[in-house]
């Protein structure tokens, strides 16, 4: 899709002039552009996909209120530092959080955080540690935000039974060709059904607390300083009420994968236990006092669960004819599903060690 970025930018209440724009291609859902202006700050302009997110104004309210909350919690740091640690949203000339163009597209504008680095994969345990610390910090800083006030931008986003129901429906309507090609993945998904529903049961029994969660904790959603310090968590589109397992598990899924999310050569898909250990250390540094024993007990398993659930969503989208995720070729979603399911198996092979590490890091420093 072609957009008149300069014209869209003009609707925001910004003094400096537009110089140029570059598209940032990484997410699967929205369209994102970096805008250079005559003065700093530069900006990030984003089109929020309103096919995926049905109520964009409410989504933006979530994002802005979470930023406000983080700002109030970090009130002690300088303004310049704050801009690097919390997403700052610009308003339109009419005072709104978003501009709606003549085609019905919703746009929002954020300050660009200068001089920072963003990774698609982790290559160093220090980065894994820092990512753990910052995702943990996001959870601990939002602990006193009433999560029931957040709008549910995508209902049942990480609800396993709901994702299975969507999968069952897609399977019932899929072509024979697709079903045949996806046979192994379909069988794998079905074989893990009971195991994958166990955390949801605990939530239903109120044994696991609900809190504010980010829900898309991939490593590319962390901004780092040049020196390797994690500064800021970005992409707060899916901030909603959730459980700690969503954020821990989804982060591990990306950080500890030795291959890309859509790797076709499954022999490359492995699990990096060293990065897992580093992430867990960082995470516990921020969360040790905020997390209960029952949550800790299932933390390692959450990596398998979150890897599985995205695999299931990719598989469902493949069977549905690729209506949700952006794809680059015909079997892209199926390849993503296979790759994620492979990773889920690799995680299972490491589960005993993963549980040991979580337990040890939880106790480290506690009560001493």
Interacting residues of 95 by C-beta distance below 8 A, sequence separation 6+: 13
- Report the partner that residue 52 touches, choosing among Mg ion, ligand GN1, none (CB closer than 5 to 8 A by kind): ligand GN1
Between residues 164 and 362, which has the closer beta carbon with respect to ligand GN1? Answer: 164
| CA separation for the pair 133, 140 (Å, rounded) | 10
Regarding 141 and contact with ligand GN1 (CB under 6 A), the answer is no
| CA separation for the pair 111, 35 (Å, rounded) | 10
Stretch that binds ligand GN1, among 27-35, 266-274, 285-293, 340-348 (CB under 6 A): 27-35
| CA separation for the pair 364, 366 (Å, rounded) | 6
Interacting residues of 158 by C-beta distance below 8 A, sequence separation 6+: 215, 242, 246, 306, 309
Strand partners, 240: 213
Which residue of this chain has its Cβ atom nearest to Mg ion in the complex?
216
- Report the partner that residue 310 touches, choosing among Mg ion, ligand GN1, none (CB closer than 5 to 8 A by kind): ligand GN1
Between residues 247 and 277, which has the closer beta carbon with respect to ligand GN1? Answer: 247
Are 196 and 90 in contact, with CB atoms under 8 Å apart?
A: no
Regarding 27 and contact with ligand GN1 (CB under 6 A), the answer is yes
| CA separation for the pair 218, 241 (Å, rounded) | 18
Regarding 29 and contact with ligand GN1 (CB under 6 A), the answer is yes
3-state class (DSSP) for residue 339: helix
Of the candidates 221, 205, 202, 215, which has an alpha carbon nearest to the alpha carbon of residue 242? 215
Strand partners, 271: 257
Binding mask 296-335 for ligand GN1 (x = CB under 6 A): --------------x-------------------------
Q: How far is CA 294 from CA 117, 142, 270, 279, 291, in A?
A: 35, 20, 28, 20, 8
| CA separation for the pair 138, 282 (Å, rounded) | 12
Q: Cα(first)–Cα(last) distance of the chain, in Å?
A: 57
Between residues 281 and 336, which has the closer beta carbon with respect to ligand GN1? Answer: 336
Stretch that binds Mg ion, among 13-21, 233-241, 311-319, 349-357 (CB under 5 A): 233-241
Between residues 211 and 313, which has the closer beta carbon with respect to ligand GN1? Answer: 313
3-state class (DSSP) for residue 43: strand
Regarding 317 and contact with Mg ion (CB under 5 A), the answer is no
Regarding 263 and contact with ligand GN1 (CB under 6 A), the answer is no
Stretch that binds ligand GN1, among 22-30, 77-85, 120-128, 163-171 (CB under 6 A): 22-30
Interacting residues of 236 by C-beta distance below 8 A, sequence separation 6+: 62, 63, 66, 67, 87, 214
Binding mask 46-65 for ligand GN1 (x = CB under 6 A): ------x-------------
Task: Tell the smallest beta-carbon distance from residue 261 to ligand GN1 (Å).
Answer: 6
Neighbours of 128 (CB within 10 A): 27
3-state class (DSSP) for residue 257: strand
Among 31, 235, 277, 348, binds ligand GN1 (CB under 6 A): 235
Of the candidates 301, 74, 118, which has an alpha carbon nearest to the alpha carbon of residue 220? 118
Binding mask 212-231 for Mg ion (x = CB under 5 A): ----x---------------
Task: Tell the smallest beta-carbon distance from residue 325 to ligand GN1 (Å).
Answer: 6
Stretch that binds ligand GN1, among 21-29, 127-135, 224-232, 241-249 (CB under 6 A): 21-29
Among 235, 250, 295, 335, binds Mg ion (CB under 5 A): 235
- Count the residues of the shown chain that bind ligand GN1, applying the rule CB under 6 A: 9
Task: State the residues that interact with Mg ion by CB under 5 A.
Answer: 216, 235
- Give residues in contact with ligand GN1 (CB under 6 A): 27-29, 52, 216, 235, 238, 261, 310
């Amino acid at each position: 899709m072609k957009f008149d970025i300069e014209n869209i930018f003009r609707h925001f209440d910004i003094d400096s002039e537009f110089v140029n724009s570059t598209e940032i291609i990484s997410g699967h859902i929205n369209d994102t552009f970096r805008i250079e202006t005559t003065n700093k700050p530069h900006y990030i302009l984003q089109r929020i996909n309103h096919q995926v997110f049905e109520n964009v104004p409410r989504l933006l309210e979530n994002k802005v209120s979470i930023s406000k909350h983080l700002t109030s919690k970090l009130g002690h740091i300088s303004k310049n530092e704050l801009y690097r640690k919390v997403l700052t949203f610009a308003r339109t000339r009419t005072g709104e959080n978003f501009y709606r163009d003549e085609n019905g597209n919703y746009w929002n504008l954020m300050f660009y955080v200068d001089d920072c680095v963003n990774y698609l994969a982790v290559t160093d345990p220090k980065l894994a540690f820092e990512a753990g610390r910052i995702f943990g910090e996001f959870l601990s800083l939002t602990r006193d935000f009433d999560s029931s006030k957040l709008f549910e931008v995508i209902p049942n986003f990480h609800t396993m039974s709901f994702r299975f129901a969507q999968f069952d429906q897609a399977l019932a309507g899929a072509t024979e060709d697709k079903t045949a090609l996806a046979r192994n993945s379909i069988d794998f998904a079905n074989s893990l059904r009971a195991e994958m529903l166990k955390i949801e049961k605990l939530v239903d029994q109120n044994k696991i607390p609900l809190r504010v969660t980010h829900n898309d904790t991939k490593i590319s959603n962390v901004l780092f300083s040049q020196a390797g310090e994690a500064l800021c968590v970005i992409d707060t589109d899916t901030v909603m009420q959730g459980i700690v397992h969503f954020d821990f598990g989804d982060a591990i899924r990306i950080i500890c994968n030795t291959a890309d999310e859509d790797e076709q050569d499954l022999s490359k898909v492995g699990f990096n236990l060293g990065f897992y250990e580093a992430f867990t250390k960082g995470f516990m540094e921020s969360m040790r006092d905020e997390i209960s024993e029952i949550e800790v007990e299932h933390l390692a398993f959450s990596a398998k669960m979150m890897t599985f659930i995205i695999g299931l969503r990719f598989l469902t989208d493949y069977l549905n004819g690729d209506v949700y995720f952006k794809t680059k070729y015909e079997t892209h979603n199926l390849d993503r599903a296979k790759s994620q399911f492979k990773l889920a198996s690799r995680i299972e092979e490491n589960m005993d060690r993963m549980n040991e590490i979580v337990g040890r890091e939880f106790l480290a420093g506690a009560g001493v």
